[in-house]
Structure 1
């Protein structure tokens, strides 16, 4: 297993990612879309999620494919980003056909960044909700190359210790299938071990993609972590994707397995204060030759990619005026 050419989720052919951000707002939107609709599912394990259209991702629902997935800052207000994405897609004839009408299917999830020091006067009625327009701008920006760190939905993200951010990673499997992860890290927990700069995800690092520090000599395993955020202020929202021809049930199994990657990279994770969730996307471009072995490997690879992507998000974060936390790079 080795990274794809870009070490991004867009190493999966046909997938595109777009970012949009407002520096004064200290917030933004990231959209994953594709050349055509793709199979999607979601696994939610955090205690405080904020989502749109996730119920339709269950395997027994009528609609089995989606047109895009959004990750956004802004807490519940950020769910409007998906409306901007849907409008952008509708203007281009994309969407689920209902008679003569096409309705774009755009699930989304949000993280809380409303107390990160950015401009929030629009919450007091001085200006419109900015997230719909940011969603449309992210669609305009969508390509197979995109920025990590302080970009898109990760612009104003924070963690228990370091400034958070947007991360991605990919892996090409011996079978020829490709897996990738995209994540906005705004966790209650820490991505580094104790007071060190060593990432919890170090055992899964490939090369020096997030510094190459390895693990520290000792682990504070007996310590009981205390929350540094309040209820509803933390969330890590992610997408794992593959070019395999998964059913919606198979995509759900991959998303569930990928949750292990979150637990490997953030301590603690999946807390009652986090809205942790993982979407799965499958383009179906490649046929699995051995569904049992390939399905098993896809889940493991998705977890490894997500752990790496989480560390890369914090590793790539950059300072900005008004930040409330230090960047890992400056630590």
Structure 2
């Protein structure tokens, strides 16, 4: 176990980003199509192919998931991932036609100091293609891919991942690009809200404060003169090797969103676009009630851990007035 999304067999992850742009993309590619669903809780989401994931609709499985910066411009990331998959002969077959199925979600990172004067066409389709082409079982965390330009209320955001195994051997793992309107730390740190779920000091091992003060519990959100209160959204994916139906994957996404609430304060705000996809590679059968409940419980834990690891692993953007990273303030 690498404590990464790719601990699920048949799942690969790739990043592509542009340092000058201060934005990027992350592609999660399934070696075989995976059952998938989506849960949207933020007030300002940006998604691609979300209607396809509705339980009433026909397609059950997806070939990849695209996560990206760039706000609505970043929705083109999915097109780049789709283009790469098409070159590999992947997709949903309709007679002789193959259509790669690539849902996606975006976060807003347009005001982080990077050069967004890209001309007629934004670069996200090319970034999506490059991310898919580079996908493998090892990938970096922090200020990379879709998390390169991410921020939170008080520290640099980033991309995180975590994994776990249930009591009966089902693997569950998550990936998240953390750009929340709120804070991932208690007050101004060094404690993470997700501390009760931390494994092996994976985000600093600081635990929680002995007591909580009124200052720690006050609202910290973006909104100063440099950042925007709309420069928000946490997006992610939880994957299991359990055998799930599309409806069960939807329930997994819903339970997994609990991890957002365990790791971000406040969360699901009107200007967040919080989205969590869930996918199943369908390798191991589970009990549809108790088994799914345990998978969901563990999913919420790994989502919370992935969010904290994204902020813990991040590095500050190299621009005047950029937010400090957690490690800038507290070390490793």
Interval containing the TM-score (normalised by the shorter chain): over 0.9
Q: TM-score, normalised by structure 1?
A: 0.95
TM-score by length of 2: 0.95
Alignment of 1:19-98 (within 5 A): 19-98=15-94
In structure 1, the residue matched to 2:146 is 153
8 A Cα contact 1:201 1:265, kept in partner: yes
C-alpha deviations, 1:80-101, integer Å up to 9, x for none? Answer: 0000111111111111111211
Partner of 1:228: 222
8 Å CA contact 2:317–2:323 kept in 1: the answer is: no
Give the structure 2 partner of residue 249 of structure 1.
Answer: 247
Contact 2:181 2:229 in 1 (8 A): no
Q: Counterpart in 1 of 2:167?
A: 174
Q: 1:265 aligns with which of 243, 258, 263?
A: 263
Give the secondary-structure state (helix, strand or coil) at the position aligned to 1:34: strand
1:317 aligns with 2:310: no
Tell me the distance in 2 between the aligned counterparts of 1:66 and 1:188: 30
Q: Measure how far apart 1:195 and its partner are.
A: 2.5
Contact 1:232/1:275 (CA < 8 Å) preserved in 2?
no
- For residues 59 and 190 of structure 1, the distance between their equivalents in structure 2, rounded to whole angstroms, comes to 33
Does structure 1 retain, via aligned residues, the 8 Å contact 2:154–2:188? no
* Residue in structure 2 matched with residue 292 of structure 1 by the alignment: 289
Partner of 2:12: 16
Which whole-Å deviations, capped at 9, do the CAs of 1:100-130 have from their partners, x for residues lacking one? 11111100000000000001111xxx35310
SS of the aligned residue for 1:121 comes to coil
Structure 1: 5+ residue runs without aligned partners?
A: none
Q: Please report the RMSD computed on the Cα atoms of aligned residues, expressed in angstroms.
A: 1.3
Residue matched to 1:304: 301
* Compared CA separation, residues 224 and 329, structure 1 to 2 (3 A): closer
CA distance in structure 2 between the aligned counterparts of 1:43 and 1:221, rounded to whole angstroms: 32
Mapped to 2, the partners of 1:114 and 1:18 lie a distance apart of: 22
| Secondary structure of 2:289's aligned partner | helix
Deviation at 1:218, TM superposition (A): 2.1
**CA shift for structure 1 position 310:** 0.4
Deviation at 1:221, TM superposition (A): 5.8
- Which region of structure 1 is more displaced relative to structure 2, 138-147 or 231-240? 231-240
The answer for the alignment partner of 1:101 in structure 2 is: 97
Query: Structure 1 residues 148 and 226 mapped into 2: Cα distance closer, same or farther (>3 Å)?
Result: closer
The structural deviation recorded for 1:231 is 5.3
Q: Distance in 1 between matches of 2:284 and 2:236?
A: 23
Q: What is residue 187 of structure 2 aligned with on the other side?
A: 194
Verify the 8 A CA contact 1:194 1:219 in the aligned structure 2: no
CA contact (8 A) 2:183 2:220 kept: no
Asked if structure 2 preserves the Cα contact closer than 8 Å seen for 1:68 and 1:105, the reply is yes
